[in-house]
Amino acid sequence: MDSSDTTICIAEQISHSYGPRSALTDISFSLPQGTVIGLVGANGSGKSTLLRILSGVQRPSSGTTFLFGENLADSEAAGRGLGAAVDGTALWPGWSVRQNLRYIAGLCGATNEQIDDAAVLVDIAAEMKTRLRRLSLGNRQRVLLAAAILAGTRIVLMDEPMNGLDPDTRQRIREVIIMLAGQGRTVLLSSHDLHDVESLCSQLIVLDDGHLMFAGQTADFVGASTMTILRMDSDATSRAQMLLTDAGIHCRRDSTGAPVVFTHEATAATRILTTAGISVLAADERHATLEEKFHDRL
């Protein structure tokens, strides 16, 4: 991701360690304005640590974060316009939802009307008088998102924002993310749900064991990869997947149970199955998904 006039966040050589354990190593990228960027990686890859550093909750062991052209470590003003729904964000359990949001609004200059609007957006308006400690996990997540929307007039960081939410609210949050980008805000979305990431994010940052594996267009990461669905008798699909996996071929099953492999491995897969007495009746190609490409690359 190259910096430009529309770049609002630049991370330069960010590294962080917890004692002897390295969590991030030499991470550099930039975030453009008005874009939804996905942050993905396996558990322990450093996603949450990176988000805490970008939000100012945690300082890196080394490296620099620039927000809106200013060094986040040196300038209190650098964090203005940034909202973060990440672990470590300060909310007060003994306060009501409205008291918490009013406090956040006071820090960022938001109005009471904007507080109410944010509460409606994340479907927490009915709980405004409830103390935070009495809320369910899903409702606490809603409050955190509302606070991030209030403060994040230019950039919003979200760490697993769908956790604990019912399907209707998950869809509402997807719509909110699209709306925020349409308003010119940048959204950095960390999620294990790669279907959400693929549908929402035009750009991608991929971490692997604390190292930057990829930063760029989501379409470039997925590339022109195709998958081949191997059609066979339904009673052979489980055995077929086991044989292919044992042979080191990346294999999953589609909604019908048919094995799915990368097209460049389809010939080898068919040969293995034929040798084992399983007939491949047909082979259908389709584009690879982000989830399939992600697991193939890591």
CATH number at residue 142: 3.40.50.300
pLDDT (tens digit, 9 = 90+) per residue, 54-67? 988 889 999 999 99
What's the CA dihedral at 84, 95, 169, 160 to 10 degrees? 30
Burial class (CB in 10 A: 0-12, 13-18, 19+), 143: buried
In a domain, 53, yes or no: yes
Task: Express each pLDDT in 120-148 by its tens digit.
Answer: 999 999 999 999 999 998 899 899 999 99
Percent of the chain with pLDDT over 70: 96
Structural domain boundaries enclosing 85: 7-221
Domains: count for the chain: 2
pLDDT at 295: 77
Reported confidence tier of residue 5, pLDDT bands at 50, 70, 90: low
Which CATH number covers residue 243? 3.30.70
d(CA 245, CA 240) in angstroms, rounded, equals: 9
32, 99: one domain: yes
- Inform me whether the pLDDT recorded for 198 exceeds 80: yes
Report yes or no: 91 and 132 within 8 Å, Cβ to Cβ.
Answer: yes
* pLDDT beyond 50 at 181: yes
pLDDT reading at 2 higher than 70: no
Instruction: Tell me if 39 is assigned to some domain.
Output: yes
Q: Which of 22, 15, 31 is nearest to 66 (CA)?
A: 31
Tell me the pairing of strands 282-287 and 226-231.
antiparallel
Element holding 169 (H helix, E strand): helix 167-182
Whether residue 49 contacts residue 88, with contact meaning beta carbons closer than 8 Å, is answered with: no
Q: What pLDDT is attached to residue 91?
A: 86
Residues 214 and 234 occupy one common structural domain = no
> Could you tell me if 145 and 12 lie in one domain?
yes
Q: 90 falls in which pLDDT band (50, 70, 90)?
A: confident
CA 195/CA 129 separation, integer angstroms: 35
Domain boundary among 161, 187, 221: 221
Q: pLDDT digit string (tens) for 214-267?
A: 999 999 998 878 999 999 999 999 999 999 999 999 898 988 899 999 999 999
Structure tokens at 203: 């750009």
User: Which residue would you say has higher pLDDT here, 91 or 76?
Assistant: 91
pTM equals 0.85
CA–CA gap between residue 126 and residue 123 (Å, rounded)? 8
Whether the Cβ atoms of residue 76 and residue 239 lie closer than 8 Å to each other: no
Residue 1 lies in a domain: no
Q: Is residue 119 part of a domain?
A: yes
Is the domain of 23 the same as that of 148? yes
Q: What is the mean pLDDT of the chain?
A: 91
- Residue 107: pLDDT over 90: no
> Which of 221, 242, 270 is the C-terminal boundary of a domain?
221
Tell me whether residue 112 is in a domain. yes
Question: What is the arithmetic mean of pLDDT over 151-166?
Answer: 90
Element spanning 39, H or E: strand 36-40
User: By the 8 A CB rule, do 57 and 86 touch?
Assistant: yes
pLDDT band at 77 (very low <50, low <70, confident <90, very high): low
Closest CA to 16 of 75, 60, 79: 60
Which whole number is the average pLDDT over 191-219? 94
Q: Work out the pLDDT band at 4, boundaries 50, 70, 90.
A: very low
Do residue 27 and residue 170 come from a single domain?
yes
121 and 190, same structural domain? yes
pLDDT above 90 coverage of the chain, percent: 72
212 and 249: one domain? no
> Which pLDDT belongs to residue 32?
94
